[in-house]
Amino acid sequence: MIDALITDYGGPGLAAVSFLAATLLPFSSEAALLLALHAGLPVVQAVTYASVGNGLACLFNYWLGYKGGALAAEKIRASKSGNAAWSLLHRFGGLTLLLSWLPVIGDPITVLAGFARISLRLFVPVVLALRVGRYVLLASL
């Protein structure tokens, strides 16, 4: 299904997969980016679509944490990776956003950032720059 979205729909399919991958579903946006590049999507387009999809999902995660409040935080803290993210956020506050690009704990950090009411002025540039940087690095390898 994931590879069909990318091969059939190109960049928009990659954006959709990258969105889904950042919403705590077990997809890999990095694998999707590599698949898109292998399928012939130009590097700049692939990085752009992956970044847009993933970045919008991070904002969606933030919104879920902000609006879902205690319920979202409780569900995330019930998982091992979510609990690790919660511990980091509780200990280091906004600095934890510097780890939001990491696999496993990065997406829970974006949800918990909304719950913790971390400023969007901090959240948006840090999280988006790190996500874009991850894709640029991966595409350049």
pLDDT tens digits along 46-83: 999 999 999 999 999 999 989 987 777 777 778 887 78
- Cβ neighbours for 44, distance < 8 A, ≥ 6 positions apart: none
User: Domain range for residue 50?
Assistant: 2-140
Neighbour-count burial for 78-106, b at 16+ CB within 10 Å, e otherwise: eeebbebbbebbeeeeeebbebbbeeebb
Q: What is the pLDDT of residue 56?
A: 97
Q: How many domains does the chain have?
A: 1
What's the pTM value of the predicted model, to 2 decimals? 0.88
Q: pLDDT at residue 24 above 70?
A: no
pLDDT tens digits along 107-130: 889 988 998 899 999 999 999 999
